[in-house]
Amino acid sequence: MTFSIAGHCPRTGRFGVAVSSSSPAVAARCAFVRTGAGAACSQNITDPRLGDRLLDLVGNGYTADEAMAQVVNDTELIAYRQLSVVDGHGGSVAFSGERVLGVSNIARVPFAAVAGNLLANAEIPLHMVERFAERPDADLEDRLLAALNAALALGGEQGPVHSAGLKVVGRVTWPETDLRVDWSSDPVHDLAKLWRLWRPLKDDYVIRALDPASAPSYGVPGDSDQ
């Protein structure tokens, strides 16, 4: 019921995930990022603990392949899971168990890994990583969203998607971008609208945390002292 991408930008050191699903609030349980370590997704019949476990391992120096191999080897019921992870050295890997739902597939290129289940087209993961790789100088968020749109262009899931999320970490320990559409008839489009709103503000909110005296102020609907 889900397609996702975990990606890394070596130019900026940022890690991110974009994900969409027919289920509600997909990013709340499937998207994992950690500053200086990596990005991961845990999906299908989801066990969120596995995303954290992958990032624990890459954060302790495991490559993406090594981390995935250990999680797959150590995890009961792994046949039901889909996982992906990227590390900070170009490593990327995805896993799909034999009991994953419907048409499913995985794909990877350096710095990105994709997994999908209940897909309309088995070629979707390959097109997602190819789209991600097309614009290495673009913002990581734009590249991740481009991958989601590539999936939709090929039919996305077998049924309509209803939720989507975008989560990216960079130079601070919390996500610089953490956007969710938890229920919508067009969640990827709505997520892109949120990103266009957030893009000019994301660096300023980091400054507000690190150096409040120099933080800019501006008018945004609903914005006060956040």
Beta strands 14-21 and 2-9, pairing class: antiparallel
Beta strands 112-116 and 163-169, pairing class: unpaired
Query: CA nearest 178: which of 8, 19, 38?
Result: 19
Which domains are delineated in the chain?
A: 2-214 (3.60.20.10)
What integer is the mean pLDDT of 63-73?
A: 98
pLDDT in tens, 2-60: 999 999 999 999 999 999 999 999 999 999 999 999 999 999 999 999 999 999 999 99
pLDDT in tens, 107-151: 999 999 999 999 999 999 999 999 999 999 999 999 999 999 999
3-class state of residue 163 by DSSP? strand
pLDDT surpassing 50 at residue 225: no
pTM value is: 0.94
| 159 close to 22: Cβ distance less than 8 angstroms | yes
pLDDT in tens, 80-100: 999 999 999 999 999 999 999
Buried b (16+ CB within 10 A) or exposed e, 43-76: bbebbeebbebbbbbbbeebbbeebbeebbeebe
Q: Which two tokens stand for residue 47?
A: 């066990």
What integer is the mean pLDDT of 101-111?
A: 97
Q: Which two tokens stand for residue 111?
A: 């710095």
pLDDT in tens, 175-211: 999 999 999 999 999 999 999 999 999 999 999 999 9
Q: Percent of the chain beyond pLDDT 70?
A: 96
